[in-house]
Amino acid sequence: MKKLLVFLKDYKKECVLAPLFKLLEASFELFVPLVVAAVVDNGITGGRNGYIVRMCLLMAALGLIGLVCSVTAQYFAAKAAVGFSTKLRHVLFAHIQSLSYTEMDTIGTPTLITRMTSDINQVQSGVNLVLRLFLRSPFIVFGAMVMAFTVDVPAALIFVVAIPLLSIVVFGIMLITMPLYKKAQAGLDRLLGITRENLTGVRVIRAFNKEADEWDRFRTSNESLTTLQKFVGRISGLMNPVTYIIVNGATIALIYCGALRVDSGVLTQGEVIALVNYMSQILVELIKLANLIITVTKAAACANRIQGVLEIQSSMQAPKTTAGGRTEEDAPAVAFEDVSLTYKGAGGESLTGLRFSVPKGSTVGVIGGTGSGKTSLVNLIPRFYDATKGRVLVDGRDVRDYSLEELRRKVGVVPQKAVLFSGTIRENLLWGNEQASDKELYEALDTAQAREVVANREEGLDAAVEQGGKNFSGGQKQRLTIARALVGNPEILILDDSASALDFATDARLRKALRNLRRKTTVFIVSQRTSSIQHADQIIVLDDGKPAGIGTHQELLESCPEYQEIYYSQFDAGSAKKNAGKEAANA
C-alpha cells in the first residue's frame, strides 16, 4: 500500500485540506452540545425567548459552517482519491501491456480484470474515507471526552469506562471479520473467473449441452461466497446492538449520576443533556472509525494485490532502440538455429531442435497435428515468447537485439482467433498503419478478399463494428484481420491458421493474391489443410514439437510419412494422383 501512495504526490494540497476542513467541521460539532446546554439552562429555564432564538441561530450557523466545511472536505478528498485511482489505473494498464505472453499466461485474465476494476475501486474508496475520517473520528472521540471533563469531572469518568468497552467491542469484531473479508474477496475472484469463462465460452457450453454442469459449478461457488458473506455479516451485525447496549448503559449511568448532582446543585439540566450528547457522538464516531478501518483493511489488501502485479517484471527484456549495424542484403528473412521452447511450468519442451532458414520473399507452410507446436513456432518470430535454447534471426540479427517496436513493425501477425474491436471497419484497419490512405485500405481489402464485406454495407469503411466483431461472420472477421495486417505493409506476414473459416475458392484466391504482392513479403502460412500450403516454397512438418520434415510439397510427399498421412487423410488416392498430375503438368 505504501508504494502506491506515490500516486498521491500531485495531490498534496488536497491531502492536507481535506482532513483540515473535516477537523474544522468536527470542532464546530463539539460546540453544539454546549449551545444546547445554554439554551436549556439560560433560555428555557429562565423563560428568555430572545436568548433561545439567538442560541438557535448560533446552532444553525454552526451547522451551516460545518456543512460548508464538510462539502469542501469531500470535494478535496474526492478529487485526490479519483485522481489517485486514475493514475494508478493508467500505470497498471501500461504495466500489463509491457508483460510478455508468459506472464499473461501465468497471472490469468480474470485476475488482471479484477485488479483493474474492483480492486482499484476499493483502494479509491479507502483513500477517500481516510482523508475524510481518519483524523475526524479520533478527534471527535477524544474531543468529546475532553469536553465532558470540562463540564463535570465525576460524570466524565463514565466516559473513561465506556470508551474502552466500546473500543474493545468495535475493534474486536473488526479483527475477527478482517481475515474473513479477505477470504470473501478471494471467493469473489473465483466467482468472477467462472462468470468470465461462461460468458466467453457460451457457444461451446451450449454446443456440448453443458449448461446444467456450468450452472451447478457457478451455484456452488456462489453459495460458498454467499455463506461466507452471511457469516461475516452476522458477526458484523453484532456491532450495533452490543455498542448500543454499552452506550445506553452509559447513558443511564450518566442520567442517574447527573440527576443526583443536579439535585445537589452541582450540575444543571442542560449540562446533563450535553454529556448525553457527547456520549452519542462518541458512539457514532467509534462505529464510523470501525467501518473506516474495515474499509481501509480491504483497500490495503487490494492495494497489495495491485502492487503484486506491478512488481512482476517481464521475463522478456528488450532494448529501447535496436543496436547499430547493417544487415547483409543476402541474409535470410528468418532463420532458426537449433531452437527449442519450453513454456513456463511445462513438464517438457514444446519445440525441439528447429533449424531452417527462409529466404526473403518466399512462402513457408507450417503443418502438423493438433498440439504439434505450429503456433509456438511462429510466435517466436515476433518474439511473443523467447526461445529457451538456440536463436531466432530476422534479417540476420537475433530477435533479442531488436527493440520490440521495430521488430513488430517488420512482422504482421494474423492470430488464430480473429479479433475485431468496437468502432468502425476503418478504425480497425488503421491499427495496421494509422497514416494509411483509403486507397491503401482498399488495396489491403482486395488482397484479403474482403472488399465485398465493405461493399455490402451502406456506410462502407465507416460501417460499425460491434465488440469482438459480433456483427460479422467468422470468414468475414478472418478476412478483415488479414487486411488489417496487410495495411501495415509488413516484411514478414504470419497467417496462423487464419483462413480456416474460408471456403476453398476464397482461400485459393487469397493465396494467389499474397503471391502477387508488390512488396517482397515473406509469408508464413500455418494451416491444417495441405491444399493451403502445397504451393509454398518450403513446408515445415511438425510432429510433437520436432521437425518431421522440411521441403517442398513433392519432396515431402515422397519422403515424409507424417506429411503423407496428413495429405492422404484429406485426399483419396484418386484425387491425390489427379492433383499430382496437375502439378506435373504445371511444372
Count CB-CB contacts under 10 A for residue 345.
Answer: 8
Q: Strand, helix or coil at 314?
A: coil
Which residues are within 8 A (CB) of 36 and not within 5 positions of it... i.e. 6 or more apart? 59, 270, 273, 274, 277
Nearest to 514 by CA among 523, 505, 527: 523
Q: For residues 285 and 99, what is the distance between their CA atoms, to the nearest angstrom?
A: 45
Q: What is the 8-class DSSP label of residue 320?
A: S
Q: For residues 558 and 564, what is the distance between their CA atoms, to the nearest angstrom?
A: 8
Residue 389 dihedral angles phi and psi, to the nearest 5°: -140, 150
Question: What pLDDT score was predicted for residue 323?
Answer: 59
In Å, how far from its chain's centre is CA 518? 41
Set of cell numbers at residue 212: 446444467
Count of alpha carbons within 13 Å of 380, Cβ hemisphere only?
28
The answer to whether the CB of 280 falls within 8 A of the CB of 68 is: no
Radius of gyration of the chain (CA): 36
Set of cell numbers at residue 114: 479484477
Q: What is the 8-class DSSP label of residue 7?
A: G
Nearest to 537 by CA among 519, 518, 556, 561: 556
Question: What pLDDT score was predicted for residue 467?
Answer: 85
What does the pLDDT profile of the chain (587 residues) look like in tens digits? 667 888 888 888 999 999 999 889 888 888 888 888 888 878 787 778 888 888 889 889 988 998 999 999 999 999 999 999 999 999 999 999 888 888 888 887 878 888 888 889 999 998 998 888 888 888 888 888 888 888 888 888 888 888 888 888 877 887 887 788 778 877 887 888 888 888 888 889 999 999 999 999 999 999 999 998 899 888 877 877 887 788 788 888 888 888 888 888 788 888 888 888 888 888 788 778 777 877 887 788 788 889 888 988 888 877 777 655 555 567 899 999 999 999 887 878 899 999 999 999 899 999 988 888 999 999 999 999 999 999 999 998 999 988 888 898 899 999 888 889 999 999 999 998 888 999 999 999 999 999 999 988 888 899 999 988 888 888 899 999 999 999 988 999 999 888 887 888 888 888 888 888 877 889 999 988 888 888 899 999 999 889 999 999 999 988 899 999 989 888 765 455 555 444 444 43
Count CB-CB contacts under 10 A for residue 528.
Answer: 15
Residue 364 dihedral angles phi and psi, to the nearest 5°: -120, 130
Query: Which segments of 391-529 does DSSP mark as H helices, in order?
Result: 404-410, 425-429, 438-447, 451-455, 474-487, 504-515
Question: What pLDDT score was predicted for residue 573?
Answer: 53
Residue type, 406: E
- Report the first-to-last Cα separation within the chain, whole angstroms: 70
Please give, one letter per residue, the 3-state secondary structure of 76-131.
Answer: HHHHHHHHHHHHHHHHHHHHHHHCCHHHHHHHCHHHHHHHHHHHHHHHHHHHHHHH
Q: For residues 373 and 94, what is the distance between their CA atoms, to the nearest angstrom?
A: 30
Look up cell 488495396; give the residue: 443
Q: Strand, helix or coil at 411?
A: strand
Q: Strand, helix or coil at 523?
A: strand
Distances (CA, A) of 334 to 40, 89, 156, 181: 92, 38, 85, 53
In this structure, are strands 492-496 and 522-526 parallel, antiparallel, or unpaired?
parallel
Q: For residues 456 and 453, what is the distance between their CA atoms, to the nearest angstrom?
A: 6
Burial of 368 (0-12, 13-18, 19+ CB in 10 A): buried
Dihedral in degrees, nearest 10, Cα atoms 534, 540, 541, 544: -150
Look up cell 475532553; give the residue: 146
Sheet bearing 546-551, strands edge to edge: 411-414, 492-496, 522-526, 363-368, 538-543, 546-551
Set of cell numbers at residue 105: 499466461
